[in-house]
Structure 1
Amino acid sequence: MITMELREFGTKSSKVSMESLGLNASVIHWNLNNEELTTQTLERQQGVLNDKGALCVSTGKFTGRSPKDKFIVKDVLTEHSVDWGEINNPISEEIFDRLYEKMLNSLTDKELWIRNCFAGADKSYGLHVTVINTLPWANLFCNNLFITPTDAELVNFEKEWVVLQIPEFEADPEVDGTRSANFTIVNFTKKIILIGGSAYTGEMKKGIFSVLNFLLPHERQVLPMHCSANEGKDGDVSLFFGLSGTGKTTLSADASRALIGDDEHGWADNSVFNFEGGCYAKCIDLSPEKEPEIYAAIRPGTLLENVTFFPGTNEVNYADASITENTRAAYPIDYIPNAKEPSLGKIPKNIFFLTCDAFGILPPISKLTKAQAMYHFISGYTAKVAGTEVGITEPQTTFSACFGRVFLPLHPIKYAELLGEKLDKNPDVNVWLINTGWTGGKYGVGKRMNLKYTRAMINAAMRGDLDSVEYVPHVVFGVLKPQSCPGVPAEVLNPRTTWQDPAAYDAQALALAQLFVNNFKQYESEANAEILSASPLTSL
């Protein structure tokens, strides 16, 4: 094989070189901007522009993450700190080293796109990340989702973590020790993430999120959070936690409040800060009426994944889920008009845990004690409606610890205890449980909570209107129900009164409580007495 003369383009950092990365490529593009990366993608016929000028690509076989194919290297550093099990799969140092060498060798004489970037808007706690891609549009994604250094910061940039993504490189499970041809492997000792066999860009984003979820609590006493965050005109910060379908994106989007970030944050001693420099928004059924800010962000520089067009046009059909329901748009956070720059604020004043309770039991808003906050944080509850088979109308519970279990290398109790420490240090922080689900009965009997009322309750909490109202504990869950709220009928605040049959409500409440208790059994051995005291009653 004849080795081509090395050609390098873009702004190269003085402290990160091809040699320091162990590469022997023929062409390297360093830190290109979105316009350059879009042009190169089009030239290579790897994507097309839509009618708004956004770059549309296909991620191929994988249109989402593959959690079962994600591994953590088990070594001296991780052996006794990582919560090994179904979520965190161990892999040996030998397997990692062998795959890493194979991946580097596969890049000989290849064309690469490399960028140096940050993860963490508070530079006191951020990571230096060097990303190596074999596709220009994958590098565009990283430019949008991670934080772009200034020219001066690039000159002094030092390699800390490396993400190596090669979608065309597939492992041989029998030889390489992986589960499938695709894989994501995190090595905390060598500070390297390997991604092979998948072009889904979210693997890079969530790979670094997992790294921060390990390092920040472990080393810096910073609580990593899978949540959105915004800030009021007076500097008050609100956090919104919630699993899919709970209304997190809708309720955190507020034209009167600055957006700190939409997905990943850290809570340090004196700040809440975004881990990212952009947004990775779901696009299914996107419309200017429902989500005007996201819709307006679809423009040049934005990356659209796995969308389709109306026949004969380059207009995106956002309702089409024929490729995947997980259609996505990746864009810089400054594409949102009210985004805060830099993406950080003070410690939170209000924290909202959002749940879509399809059983119609939990109050539409309730205030949590510290113990209840830790318990519900660990539980991460919501309920999904089972509508995939004819005749099935029973809600299905979903519990995801800390509202992001699949991204947690440490035991969930560690994060909950750190939350408790933050609440102890900041006793004025309010924690609220918001039910955006059903009222007047479970799914099929009652109705979905009025969004107007939910917004009124959240706004009242943020304004301080609920600071001095009367509260009554829920008879089963013990959470504190406000007896009045501006703009919300009093009867709505007490879910039991919205049911035609109060006895049926009581029975369903105890049944839901039992589901909480059953789920929490996996955490009981590590939980302290304070957390366990917040467990709901299972009998009256």
Structure 2
Amino acid sequence: MLEQNCHQHSDYGLENHGLENLNEVFWNLNTAALYEKILNRHEGTLSHLGPIVVRTGHHTGRSANDKFIVEEDSSKDVIWWGKINRPLSEAHFENLHQGMLNHLQTQDLYVQDCFAGADPAHRLPVRIITQYGWHSLFARNMFLQATAEALKKHVPAFTVIDAPRFHASPSMDGTNSETFIVVNFKKKMILIGGSSYAGEIKKSIFSVMNYLLPSKNVLPMHCSANISADGRCALFFGLSGTGKTTLSADASRALIGDDEHGWGAHGIFNFEGGCYAKLIHLSPEAEPEIFGTTQRFGTILENVAIDAKTRRIDLDDDTFTENTRGSYHISAIPNVQKNGMGEHPKEVLFLSADAFGVLPPIARLSKAQAMYHFISGYTARVAGTERGVSEPSPVFSACYGAPFMPLHPMRYAELLGNKLDEHHSCVWLINTGWTGGPYGVGQRMSIAHTRAMVNAALDGKLDDVAMETEPFFGLQIPRHCPGVPDEVLNPRNTWSHPEEYDVQAKKLATMFAENFHIFADHVTEAVRNAGPG
């Protein structure tokens, strides 16, 4: 029986959120109890070896156009308003909030009281109220779980109310569609509705951390992090498809976290207690640690195909989406830093999958260049083919995570520059994309070469190597790297016709400059001049 876990809302202050007449509230259920609720209520399917397989409906990823920040006096003057951070009026928020409360009055709900931030000095207590049991399990996986003693004193600094079955009325609520993700910094509340994609819960709290921490001189970062046996920490920034998860998952180094971190006075710390990995085409050979999580009790598999009879999953099946996901507690990874913390990073890596074939496979950045490339947040996406020729398209996402940055990117870049100065961290730009030509002509960078370059950088083997300056971006390229042929290091040398490389490099440099134009008035002259010449 689970009576001890099923409590009336009034015992736990849910009336403060306007939820007075609920049927039952399932308070901080553990994983086994949540499994029972999920299966009994047909929210998911039990797969072979124990993971829960769920469907998120037509929302198989984040709804970027449905995210809003409430425009109110306490925060409106510091928010980076624009296409990413859209304003919603306080009146519309109140109307939307009341509509959600009316909808939820007759619903059973799940509550998880947990934390974001492994560093006790910057730990944020959060309350996640969900309509689905599997969303409660997601919160339990992804956030830092509270001990029994901590639960007695837990007072949420931010509350998420997640109601996928409630839909907004755009004409009445000021939203773009029936789906919404609304952050109210004044009321310390987040409303999510119309979407079952659990990632919205995780990223909404990440956005809150990105708003709160800079005022404490802490740099919030959309990156993975690991640590060597002798305590050398490294950060891996990169957009989807750049190899961030693969390169940071190293059997010789302990994983601190795979997605969200802070860099404060005492070093770096994970925001989360779990991982949210992309699973499509995952193999036991390439990523054995992550693959192992797909065969264990407690893991949630989002939109992964499953055989109804054998209950075996197929990670190569993209019937529902390419964005298949696995949510699991970080303890499922064999080699992890259990306290989620590390020393100040010695190396910072910016990963880019450059489909234009221009950027060097590894280059050392000055502080100003690091700030420039951090603000740019570049990678490239391969477009469709026409008559056998593919044309790449650039992707720029400020700070490698623009959708989650409420403040102007320069605020985060300034913090990065200060941290680099203070702790003498070295920044490397790594191209995991194409060499010898653009996509369709050249070839993808050898993963063995990339790993050799990353390992050399992390082990300090490139610290005293002679460098040459590449002419288009002003990047410092090592002349030699252990385990990598010298001719691979300078991308111009890998093209059959170097003059074609020059044309492509000028083209990409122009794209960088055009993208950076919107930031130019907000950065220092040194950063402005650190881009392509």
Q: Give the TM interval when normalised to the shorter protein.
A: over 0.9
Structure 1 position 279 matched with structure 2 position 275: yes
Match of residue 51 from structure 1 = 48
Q: Which of 261, 264, 267 is equivalent to 2:260?
A: 264
Shift of 1:505: 1.4
- 5 Å-filtered alignment, 1:195-274, equals 195-217=192-214, 219-274=215-270
Alignment partner, residue 398 of structure 2: 401
1:271-318 per-position Cα deviation (integer Å, ceiling 9, x unaligned): 101111000111111221222111111211111111112463211111
User: Residues 512 and 328 of structure 1: is their aligned pair in 2 closer, same or farther, counting only changes over 3 Å?
Assistant: same
Asked whether 1:112 is paired with 2:109, we answer: yes
Task: Give CA deviations for 1:403-458 in whole Å, capped at 9, x if unaligned.
Answer: 1111111111111111111112122x110000111111112221111111110111
User: Is 2:495 the partner of 1:483?
Assistant: no
Aligned: 1:527 with 2:527? no
Which residue number in structure 1 is paired with residue 301 of structure 2? 304
Is 2:9–2:25's contact at 8 Å kept on the other side of the alignment?
no
C-alpha separation between the residues in 2 aligned to 1:80 and 1:300?
46
The one of 93, 96, 99 aligned to 2:96: 99
Letter in 1 for 2:271: F
Query: CA shift at 1:331, angstroms?
Result: 0.4
Residue 20 of structure 1 aligns to a residue whose secondary structure is helix
Identity %: 53
1:411 is aligned, of 405, 408, 411, to 408
Structure-1 residue corresponding to 2:365: 368
Counterpart mapping for 1:137-536 below 5 A: 137-217=134-214, 219-298=215-294, 299-310=296-307, 312-387=309-384, 391-427=388-424, 429-536=425-532
Aligned structure 1 segments of 4 or more residues deviating by more than 6 angstroms: 11-15
Partner Cα distance (1:350, 1:250) in 2? 17
Q: Which amino acid letter does the alignment assign opposite residue 508 of structure 2?
A: L
Name which of structure 1's ranges 139-148 and 313-322 shifts more when overlaid on structure 2. 313-322
Q: What is the letter of the counterpart of residue 63 of structure 2?
A: S
CA separation of 1:249 and 1:422: change in aligned 2, threshold 3 A: same
Q: Give yes or no for contact 1:165–1:196 (8 Å, CA) kept in 2.
A: yes
Asked if structure 2 preserves the Cα contact closer than 8 Å seen for 1:8 and 1:30, the reply is no
Distance 1:332 1:11 in 2: 26
Instruction: Tell me which amino acid in the other structure corresponds to 2:66.
Output: D
Quote how far apart the aligned CAs of 1:21 are. Answer: 3.3
DSSP 3-state at the match of 1:394: strand
Who is 2:80 aligned against? 83
Deviation at 1:11, TM superposition (A): 8.7
TM-score between the two structures when normalised by the length of structure 2: 0.97
Structure 1 counterpart SS, 2:43: coil
User: Which amino acid in 2 is paired with 1:22?
Assistant: G
Q: Which residue type is aligned with residue 46 of structure 1?
A: E
What is the DSSP-based 3-state SS (H/G/I as helix, E as strand, rest coil) of the residue aligned with 2:187? coil
Root-mean-square deviation (CA, aligned residues, Å) is: 1.6
Moved more, 280-289 or 252-261: 280-289
- CA shift in 2, pair 1:257/1:14, >3 Å: farther
CA distance in 2, matches of 1:511, 1:18: 56
CA displacement 1:207-260 (0-9 Å, x = unmatched): 00111111111x211111110000000111000011111111111110110000
Determine the C-alpha separation between the residues in 2 that align with 1:489 and 1:160.
53
Partner of 1:40: 37
- Counterpart CA distance in 2 for 1:509 and 1:159 is 50
TM-score normalised over the length of structure 1 = 0.95
Once residues 337 and 10 of structure 1 are traced to their aligned partners in structure 2, the CA distance between those partners, rounded to angstroms, is 34
Q: Secondary structure at the match of 2:245?
A: helix
| Paired residue secondary structure (1:348) | coil
1:130 — aligned with what? 127
1:3 counterpart residue number: none
What are the superposed Cα offsets for residues 314-347 of structure 1, whole Å, 9 maximum, x if unpaired? 1111111111111111000000000111111011
CA distance in 1, matches of 2:494, 2:468: 16
Counterpart-to-counterpart distance in 2, 1:153 and 1:80 = 35
Residue pair 1:12, 1:31 contacting (<8 A) in 2 also: no
SS of alignment partner, residue 478 of structure 1: coil
Q: Is the 8 A contact 1:8 1:27 kept in 2?
A: no
Q: Deviations over 1:329-371 (max 9, x none)?
A: 1000000000111111011110000011111111111100000
Q: Does the 8 Å CA contact 1:183/1:197 hold for their aligned counterparts?
A: yes
Q: CA deviation at 1:22?
A: 2.8
Give the C-alpha shift of residue 388 in structure 1. 5.7
Residues in 1 aligned to 2:387 and 2:8: alpha-carbon distance in whole angstroms? 58
Report the CA distance shift for 1:137/1:517 in structure 2 as closer, same or farther (over 3 A): same
Q: How far apart are residue 389 of structure 1 and its match?
A: 5.4
